[in-house]
Structure 1
Amino acid sequence: MGLVDRAKNIIVTPRTEWSVIAAEGGTVGDIYRNYVVPLALIPAICSFVGMSVLGFSLGADHMRVPFFSGLIMAALQFGLGLLIVYLVALVIDALAPRFDGRKGMLPAFKLAAYSYTPAWLTGIFLLVPVLGFLSILGLYGIYLLYVGAPRLMAIPEGKAGLFTTAVVVIALIMSFVLSLVLAAFMPVPAMM
């Protein structure tokens, strides 16, 4: 299945699409190459264009992140985005048996990768920094994780909510730590 069809289906008909995904083969590398990498580029590129190329207004001042600093920031954002998906998959795989599910790195990676779809797609709003708040729509991925956990990791329906909560809390902590790493490299915007 193509990237666009998969992204559309996971957003619009997640219950049906998770069953399709569960039945598919493939490898973690295939999913990275054909799905994660192209989608993870969206927020990195859009953030770079919005902050370094187009710039943003702060009161009466128009500001821009310096070009090369913006490139470095985008590369770090992209790299950390690839890393967090893998780390979340490790968490999913480790937690599944504790919630009466089954272990399996491939289904855990599928669950992590496809659940991140809304977060990556809403990265388009970073083109216009003032619209960046709309990235909150990416939280739909939490629902996708909840719906997909029983289908991919055999988590009982009654435990899917608690499993999802545990994964999300751990993912937020990991994301916070990784964002601190990114912030250490964040340049100060320059006035234009």
Structure 2
Amino acid sequence: MMNHVLGLFTHPDREWKQIRGDKEETISHMYLTHTLILAAIPAISAYIGTTQIGWVIGNRAPVMLTHESAIWMTVMSYIAMLGGVAVMGGFIHWMARTYDANPSLARCVAFATYTASPLFVGGLAALYPHMWLGMIVGVAAISYTVYLLYVGLPTFMNIPSDEGFMFSSSVLAVGLVVLVAIMAFTVVLWGIGVGPEYTN
């Protein structure tokens, strides 16, 4: 798995072909060996960053979350990321029929996981929760994720590049909807009192 993740950062075109040629995996195996591990990177990083380092506003002391609050938010964000990958994999599988591609659901979940790798790895920036660092790393991670999507989908689905562009654009639009839905769900939770608790 990690070889593929590294390859997507160094030579994405070649790596997508290798991923397409991999043997078939079940969804449970894919989640256990890939998605669960990658999604844990930003969740654990955010827990450490918000409880051990905190963030500074002006000249005040660092603001940190309580361990109980941070654990709850870590678990919820981890579940949201796993759910987001599943939804995206399901949409890619459903949409593939429009383009005469017949990948299995497990392979579509694999594609969604590998495409989101920059976002997961970029989550390491949460170890030091500084606004500018988060913005720079976040923009870079999102940009590279979009690049992997547009480069990888035609290769992975073995479809022409013009169809791949339309397919990728549809996937990107659904991904934005999923992101907004997760953010809205977070706001609802905070509204009913399941929000962060600070140490100071």
Normalising by structure 1, report the TM-score.
0.91
Can you give the 5+ residue segments of structure 2 that lack an aligned partner in the other structure? none
- Residue 111 of structure 1 is matched in structure 2 by 111
Aligned length: 190
- Residue 195 of structure 2 is matched in structure 1 by 187
| Residue identity matched to 1:67 | H
| 3-state secondary structure, aligned to 2:56 | strand
Quote the Cα distance in structure 1 between the aligned partners of 2:165 and 2:59. Answer: 46
Quote the Cα distance in structure 1 between the aligned partners of 2:101 and 2:22. Answer: 19
Higher mean C-alpha deviation, range 157-166 or range 146-155: 146-155
Higher mean C-alpha deviation, range 18-27 or range 178-187: 178-187
Higher mean C-alpha deviation, range 176-185 or range 137-146: 176-185
Of 11, 20, 38, the match for 1:22: 20
| Residue identity matched to 2:175 | A
Higher strand share: 1
How many angstroms does 1:103 deviate by? Answer: 4.6
Quote the Cα distance in structure 2 between the aligned partners of 1:181 and 1:46. Answer: 22
Higher mean C-alpha deviation, range 12-21 or range 143-152: 143-152
Quote the Cα distance in structure 1 between the aligned partners of 2:94 and 2:158. Answer: 13
- Residue 92 of structure 1 is matched in structure 2 by 92
The one-character-per-residue Cα deviations of 1:132-154 (angstroms, maximum 9, x if unpaired) are 11122222111112222122223
| Residue identity matched to 2:198 | A
- Residue 53 of structure 1 is matched in structure 2 by 52
Quote the Cα distance in structure 1 between the aligned partners of 2:159 and 2:43. Answer: 33
How many angstroms does 1:188 deviate by? Answer: 4.0
Higher mean C-alpha deviation, range 62-71 or range 84-93: 62-71
Of 126, 145, 156, the match for 1:152: 156
Normalising by structure 2, report the TM-score.
0.87
